[in-house]
Amino acid sequence: MKKLLVIGITLVLISCSGTEQTNVEDSGCFSTGSKTYKWTMVTTWPKNFPGLGMGPENFSKYVDEMTCGRMQIKVYGAGEFVPALGVFDAVSQGNVQLGHGASYYWTGKVKSSQFFTAVPFGLTAQEMNGWLHYGGGMELWEEAYAPFNLIPLAGGNSGVQMAGWFKKEINSLDDLKGLKMRIPGLAGEVFTRAGAETVTLPGNEIFLSLQQGVVDAAEWVGPYNDLTFGFHQVSDYYYYPGWHEPGSTLEIIINKEAYETLPDDLKAIIKYAAKSANQEMLDEYTARNNKALTELIEKHNVDLRKLPDSVLIELKKITNEVMEDFIEDDPMAQKVYKSYNEFKEQVINYHRISEKAYIDTRELD
């Protein structure tokens, strides 16, 4: 009887143990019952805008999935919670925990922020990811944002952009004189020195500004987004290449105080969700841009043109002058520029015999 009793108790314990393990596995989450975090994310993009606007949405989705709902991030589009260009201050001041935008919008506050989005005639998307994650770029980005109570992460990349939409032909540098163009960052300063008048506008104001003649030209992103905004309806010429933004990195910014309240596993999930969103955006643009360009040309009869080499050469000369003046009185900008340039020279040398050589070879008949 004693032996039978022991065997019976053992079977019951094994049965209960097996049932409990099965329930945990079936739930799909091993952290049920833990504290839930509900954060807010503001962006510089229209809500659910293709490409750019989906970066924060994907980030939010990945965090929710990887935390099994322990961390929920509500995303607001531009103007829904704060103005498009109010994202930096909102996150810095702790009014919200997260933001998504482009760092070069904040050069008035942090001069070196320009380098973490794009520099005219600078790094491509692939090269930017290399510099940020393996060339010391992220450490410098963190240092630049530390005084503002912010932690930055790469949060997307559009790849090489287009030079923009113009209402008149550009055959020489003289054609830029007096031209009013929407173009942000250092590229805007380059155009200004070339004789143009430049303005900064959020994406949702560009179409109306072109339509009403507030600007004569505008750059936004590339075919995928430009088709969505319908710029072909209010402009005559579509120029390439995007000398001004060869690989525009977007950012996720986190309020540092809020971040430090998180357990280590959620901190790690935020980091890797950002990396995933960063790569996914570039993949999407790579897949969708040519299809959109084909539609612009074949369906909407867009006049696609390459900027003359003579214009590009002059713009590059002006860019070099602008860069020297830009960093002159800012030690942090000088520090970042030095790192950026050193990496660029190294990667150019390698890509000359790898990426560029292969692409040239692929074009051979």
Q: Which two tokens stand for residue 260?
A: 């430090």
| CA atoms of 337 and 323, how far apart (whole Å) | 9
| Mean pLDDT across 76-88 | 94
Region of 301 (left: φ > 0; alpha: ψ -120 to 50; beta: rest) is left
pLDDT band at 189 (very low <50, low <70, confident <90, very high): very high
pTM passes above 0.75 = yes
* Residues 237, 315: Cα–Cα separation, whole Å: 19
Long-range contacts of 177-182 (CB under 8 A, 24+ apart): 179/216, 179/217, 180/214, 180/215, 180/216, 180/217, 181/215, 181/216, 181/217, 181/218, 181/219, 182/206, 182/209, 182/215, 182/217, 182/218, 182/219
Q: What is the mean pLDDT of residues 290-301?
A: 97
- Mean pLDDT, to the nearest integer, of 145-173? 97
pLDDT of residue 34: 77
Class of domain 37-158+247-286: alpha beta
Residue 94 has pLDDT above 60, yes or no: yes
pLDDT digits (tens, 9 = 90+) for 334-357: 999 999 999 999 999 999 999 999
SS3 label, residue 312 = helix
Confidence of residue 112 (pLDDT cuts 50, 70, 90): very high
CA distance 344 to 128: 9
Q: 265: burial class by Cβ within 10 Å (0-12, 13-18, 19+)?
A: middle
Residue 284 has pLDDT above 70, yes or no: yes
Ramachandran angles phi, psi of 315, nearest 5°: -65, -35
Nearest to 219 by CA among 141, 288, 160: 160
Q: Which residues contact 219 (CB under 8 A, 6 or more apart)?
A: 161, 162, 163, 164, 165, 181, 182, 183, 187, 242, 244, 245
Q: Is the pLDDT of residue 1 over 90?
A: no
pLDDT of residue 204: 80
pLDDT value of position 30: 55
Count the Cβ atoms, other than its own, within 10 Å of residue 227. 21
Residue-wise over 75-96: b if at least 16 C-beta within 10 A, else e? bbbbbebbebbbbbebbbeeeb
- Give the relative orientation of helices 355-362 and 331-353 as an angle to the nearest 10 degrees: 40
Pick from 269, 257, 275: nearest CA to 69: 269
Write the pLDDT tens digit of every residue in 306-340: 999 999 999 999 999 999 999 999 999 999 999 99
Q: What is the mean pLDDT of the chain?
A: 91
| pLDDT surpassing 90 at residue 154 | yes
* Cβ proximity of 31 and 64 under 8 Å: no
Structural tokens at position 296 = 């612009």
pLDDT confidence band for 185 (50 / 70 / 90): confident
Q: What are the beta bridge partners of residue 300?
A: none
pLDDT reported for residue 28: 59
pLDDT, average across residues 109-121? 96
Model pLDDT, residue 2: 46
Hey, where are the domains in the chain?
37-158+247-286
Angle at 97 between CA 94 and CA 98, to 5 degrees: 125
Residue 124: is its pLDDT beyond 90?
yes
Alpha carbon distance, N-terminus to C-terminus of the chain: 89
**Beta strands 249-255; 150-157: pairing state:** antiparallel
- How much is the pLDDT for 3? 46
With a cut of 90, say whether residue 191 has pLDDT above it. Answer: yes
pLDDT exceeds cutoff 80 at 5: no
Beta carbons of 199 and 215 less than 8 angstroms apart: yes
Share of the chain above pLDDT 70, in %: 91
* 24-43 mean pLDDT: 72
pLDDT of residue 29: 64
